A and B are shown apart, each in its own frame.
Chain A
């Protein structure tokens, strides 16, 4: 029953017609991709704030977006805007400031950061109060109204909707490190339901600030290999010791294949399918049998209507934590069986770091670029772990004919989402 415009379940085929990207490797998808396949690292010593006394002092920050002073909200919003603008320009869809579909955006926590708390605490008046009572009294003076965007959870969605004129109520979502993939899933489902012919799916995260870093550090999740920043993120390697926090944004324009063809758009790839499964085991660890990740993978292959041997390449979640990479290997083995040994799998995070909320979006863009360019990005810093025998495309990129890519995203809190992209149907 599958055709170019209907999938194996009779649903509309969904195409990708626009991509946008900001990473620690560069602003724009061309700059990021060129450095990614060259095996460059965007991880460096943090210069944004003094790192005295911190166990981890490296990150893949985005430092060239002209946002000053830094705040997580402002930089996240600016990167999301840049990525979305690039994706819309490539898709040549809609009219200026009128995107013909909804916005689905994955955003980091909306919160007052320490510079804001300090301003509020320092305040305008001597009121004899301390702590939150003092900040509340200062806030009442209306001298701090400019901070409102930091505490409104939909402020990034609101800004993007205003800039790009997306339709309807935008969705702001969080499934932790699977969030970017969830935006694609929500867009895919809406187009399949026939609610819309297009969707703008964006993930963004710029939370490299002291508390952001320390939170993950206290969970023992971060690499402490500070002396050689570019070598710290080493997914699937024997001596991997944690992930490297990073910043970035990715944007995809999704469209029904029919609508995209009708307007003569270039089809970059199709979203073959998506699947998710929640873990009920632990807040930061997967169940030891990998059942939830296995479940997400199986649901994804079923939704996409593909067999394991059809996967040409896996864009791994591959965070470089001991736990994730082992669990990802086990779950992939359970689902792909013998095929896994013959399927190249690499982790973009070895170069761009872990962009957290944005990771699913950033890696989806790289997955589509992998199909487009016929080149597998490498896993750099690879030192084989005998327990994880995988073809990780070590150190240098590799030319390959890639029709179908599986992209994995797994989050703290047990949200697991996988997406399959394929080249345009022949």
Chain B
């Protein structure tokens, strides 16, 4: 018996960001005639800017305060968005189905106790015996449950506890590629019959200094006034972290049909690689991946949702790849969602896939997300959208989201 190949459908979307809560509100804001201004917090963490999360009542998705107390904010954002996606897919309340939902989650580390760190560091500066002091301060100062808020896999753990989605559970790490790994694992398993229904996603709390410190050590943060991701290169490039929770329910087509679930779109391809960037540009790596997709050129418009972060040189190298698509017979219409939502790191790719699925299902594309992106008046509604995700440091991926209309009928 060969494992059957099935289509991968997107049947649920959960999205919270600096702009809005829920996919509908995102669509209303982003698909109008003009893109909305981004929500930017430029003073609290100066010289860095972040995109702060829209105000949320976490209790709507996490009713028990004891659950909320055991989570750090990145986990609350993720559990909230996961709940939106499960609810959107019609899974909430169906215990037997939830018990079979497989989680593929992308996560970094959780949050540190910044006040404690600051206090201990100050005390250590002037201490003759720093090690015993550190032991004492940590043993008495760390909250016992803080570690549970820091462990990468505890976002998945909390989703299982709060929403009862508890088939299998895997957490992937590695910045942007963590998201790609999570999506790929779900898609490959669905296609091969190794699973029927998946919740894939990630979350970022951008509004914290420990995250910014990790980014600054690698010098990946943008500074200066707000600019779209494509306009940052002359100013040194850099990303602006954006608080984000983005989840998708990915489902085998036959499984979705059997329960009457209607897809937004189908995820037809995810291809990824990891170039040794000291030897090869991200442009060349992306071109190779594009060749793997084997699209038939027809000198047509190709809607592209770009995951560009603003970090250089990879952002300019991605622009070169996208511009070069014209030579291959495609007219790219590029929208970089990071210009409006900020960079979501592990969660980033899920936001792009969600926006692509929405556009395909609505039969409309987005206006320019930044000053340098060309308007596309009169273009045909997109039947398929290329989603790019080139890691700010490592890893490259392309995904293809297509209309499921023909298949779903």
Residues of A near any B CB (own CB < 8 A):
1, 9-11, 49-55, 107, 109-112, 114, 117-118, 120-122, 130-133, 135-136, 139-140, 142, 144-145, 147-148, 151-154, 157-158, 161-162, 168-176, 182, 186, 189-190, 192-193, 195, 210-211, 214-219, 276-284, 292, 411-415
Contacts and interface: CB of A to CB of B under 8 A. Distances in A.
A109 B109 contact: yes
Interface in B154-173: 154, 156-158, 160-161, 164-173
Nearest to B214: A151
Contact of A53 (B135, B156, B189): B135
Given A168-B272, A278-B160, A130 B118 contact: yes
A282 B185 CA distance: 26
A283 B135 contact: no
22 contacts: A54-B139, A112-B213, A132-B210, A133-B209, A136-B216, A144-B217, A152-B218, A169-B180, A170-B274, A172-B181, A173-B181, A174-B152, A174-B171, A174-B173, A210-B138, A219-B148, A278-B165, A278-B167, A281-B161, A282-B161, A283-B158, A411-B153
A151 B103 contact: no
Interface residues of B, number: 79
B188 A276 contact: no
Contacts of B142: 211, 214-215, 218
A55 to B, nearest CB: 7
B125 A122 contact: yes
A117 B209 CA distance: 13
B108 interface: yes
Interface string B173-191: 1110110110001001100
Contact of B219 (A122, A142, A153, A192): A142
Contacts, number: 241
Interface stretch (B79-87, B299-307, B390-398): B390-398
Nearest to A412: B151
B172 A277 contact: no
A176 B153 contact: yes
Given A52-B131, A54-B139, A278-B168, A189 B189 contact: yes
B205 interface: no
A214 B394 contact: no
B169 A278 contact: yes
The residue in B189, B217, B397 that gathers the most chain A C-beta atoms within 10 A of its C-beta is B217
Contact of B139 (A10, A55, A133, A189): A55
The residue in B118, B146, B167, B213 that gathers the most chain A C-beta atoms within 10 A of its C-beta is B213
Nearest to B154: A413
B148 A284 contact: yes
A332 B272 CA distance: 40
B167 A277 contact: yes
B198 to A, nearest CB: 12
A50 B161 contact: no
Interface string B13-55: 0000000000000000000000000000000000010000000
Interface of B: 1-3, 48, 70, 103, 107-109, 114-115, 117-118, 121-122, 124-125, 130-132, 134-136, 138-139, 142-144, 146-148, 150-154, 156-158, 160-161, 164-175, 177-178, 180-181, 185, 188-189, 192, 194, 209-210, 212-214, 216-219, 272-274, 276, 393-395, 397
A113 B178 CA distance: 22
Given A131-B121, A136-B213, A283-B158, A292 B172 contact: no
Given A162-B276, A169-B395, A280-B160, A415 B152 contact: no
A195 B165 CA distance: 28
Contacts of B70: 283
Contacts of B166: 277-280, 292, 414
A413 B153 contact: yes
A278 B118 CA distance: 36
